[in-house]
Amino acid sequence: MSTTPRRQDPDMDPAPRISARSAAVHDRVQEHLADLDQRYTSGRRRLIELLVATSRPASLPELLELDPSIPQSSLYRNLDMLERTGLVRRLTTGGEHARFEFAEPLLAHHHHLICVSCGLIEDVTFADAVETAVDDALHEAALDYGFEPLHHSIDLHGHCSDCAAQN
């Protein structure tokens, strides 16, 4: 076995960034799971690899398409476990399938553009001033209702460029 999986032509695309990013994520995940006495098995590694590969929140069918050799039940079980340990976030908005992305220790604070037509989700980041304004407003509102705030999320629903072009 070679040390690296076959990919595109090394002359055209050495892709050093992806590898570095992937390794860094694996380190973070391994450490986090070790702290919680959870195993970092090969199946979980493969799942993390898939999540690194998709730059967007991914649905289970999308993950399966990237690596059909992983059983659905293992994907669901491990996504669930990673969610419970706080490494992965499950997005229920935006279509028939849930979508999964890295949670904030692994991915910077951001929000989502959601296509109401095809369910595609893009990550976006806002200026600190906007985040602060929203946080202040939310904190105040939470107090009024006795809520203990944890985190906020902002979605923009609309049509992605592909779907907008089709109409």
Partner DNA sequence: CTCAGTGCAAAGGATTTGCATGCCG
Partner DNA sequence: CGGCATGCAAATCCTTTGCACTGAG
User: Where do contacts with a second copy occur on this chain (CB under 8 A)?
Assistant: 92-94, 113, 115-116, 122, 124, 126-127, 129-130, 133-134, 136-138, 141-142, 144-161, 164
Residue 157 interacts with, from DNA, a second copy, none (CB under 5-8 Å by kind) = a second copy
Nearest-5° Cα angle at 73, 67 to 74: 60
Rounded to an integer, what distance in angstroms lies between the CA atom of residue 114 and that of residue 120? 6
For residue 29, the minimal CB distance to DNA (Å) is 11
Interaction of residue 71 with DNA, rule CB under 7 A: yes
For residue 101, the minimal CB distance to a second copy (Å) is 15
For the chain, the first-to-last Cα distance in angstroms comes to 49
Q: Which of 7, 15, 76, 125 lies at the binding interface for DNA (CB under 7 A)?
A: 76
Rounded to an integer, what distance in angstroms lies between the CA atom of residue 15 and that of residue 5? 12
Structure tokens at 158: 């609309």
